[in-house]
Amino acid sequence: MMKKKFFASLVLAMMLMTLTLTAFASGTLYDQNWYYQNRGKPWLENSPEIYGAVLNKLVKNPEQEPAVSDLVNVTVQDVSWVPEAQLMTVSFRAAPKDPEHYELHCRMDLDTDGAYAGRDASTTVTEDGEDRAMHWLWRVDPMFEQPTRIGPPIEMMDDSSKHLLLIEDKSLNVSDGGLELTGSRDMFRTPEGEVIFQADVSLDWLNEEFDRNLREWAEKQDAKEYAEKRIAAAQKAREAVKSGKLACVLNINTVEYTEGMDDDQLYMGGENGQLHFTVDVKGSAD
């Protein structure tokens, strides 16, 4: 049994190495093959059977519609459906539609201190060297190999003559019924100026135990209305899974940052966009 496990692990390691070499030979592809061998390597190392299954079940360029957005192109790079581990993983790539005039960064890399300081706040620099009345933009290497830099957003751009766009993934939902797909998310900017979203989605809603657990929680939290809406959405999603196709939608927000802009516009304005895609689940609800 141990020999069999070792051989399977060796085959998986050799497969991943081949994929890595192929990716770097043709230019780095920041898809899930790259992610779980690099930035997300701890997931693969700590749960090799689960994330080995994720990589084995990857579907590249799934069925999808062009993203509804005037500012950015957003696509699904690949998706993996692993119901035996109650897990779905999705990788998205975003890039500005007009890269000559716009530069795209992650919204989560914007330090929000300036939003909370108020318009009449002091501009005195604090002991840690940060000005709490101003925004800062973090520049973080995808692999954390380069020193992290932080400074005024425009100064942190690759090309400050361009317009700065900030993008955020607002939510991921099942299209029909609106069930929000929750789990862990990661977002990073590549050296090539694209933004990658990596979502590890929990499929705990695939069985009816989800409904019972949510009702028990709602009783303690006085959240019956919320729980019943989510249960109804989960039940509708389970029916969709039985059909073999699960239609999903990624909701995004993109805003152009300018120095001194109103916080209401920064945090509640911008352009809301959507990307619709379909996951082939092969009728499995297990």
Question: What confidence score (pLDDT) does residue 267 get?
Answer: 87
N residues, the chain: 286
Question: What confidence score (pLDDT) does residue 166 get?
Answer: 97
Question: Phi and psi (nearest 5°) for 117?
Answer: -75, -30
Q: Which residues contact 65 (CB under 8 A, 6 or more apart)?
A: 275, 276, 277
Question: Considering Cα of 236, then 237, then 242, then 246, what sign does the dihedral take?
Answer: positive
CA dihedral 149, 194, 152, 115 (to 10 degrees): -110
Tell which residue, 133, 166, 126, has the closest CA to residue 260.
Answer: 133
Interhelix angle 48-56/2-25, rounded to 10 degrees, is: 50
Q: What is the mean pLDDT of residues 230-256?
A: 95
Question: What confidence score (pLDDT) does residue 36 get?
Answer: 96
- Interstrand relation of 163-174 and 102-106 (parallel, antiparallel or unpaired): parallel
pTM (predicted TM-score): 0.83
Range scoring the smallest mean pLDDT among 17-26, 96-105, 140-149: 17-26
Tell which residue, 217, 207, 184, 243, has the closest CA to residue 43.
Answer: 184
Range scoring the smallest mean pLDDT among 3-12, 111-120, 150-159: 3-12
In this model, does residue 24 exceed pLDDT 50? no
Q: What is the pLDDT of residues 73-110, one digit of tens each?
A: 999 999 999 999 999 999 999 999 999 999 999 999 99
In this model, does residue 1 exceed pLDDT 90? no
In this model, does residue 263 exceed pLDDT 50? yes
Work out the mean pLDDT of the chain and round it to a whole number: 86
In this model, does residue 189 exceed pLDDT 70? yes
Q: Tell me what percent of the residues of the chain surpass a pLDDT of 70.
A: 81
Q: Where on the phi/psi map is residue 270: left (φ > 0), alpha (ψ -120 to 50), or beta?
A: left
Helix, strand and coil in the chain, % to nearest 5: 35, 30, 35
Of residues 228 and 178, the one with the higher pLDDT is 228
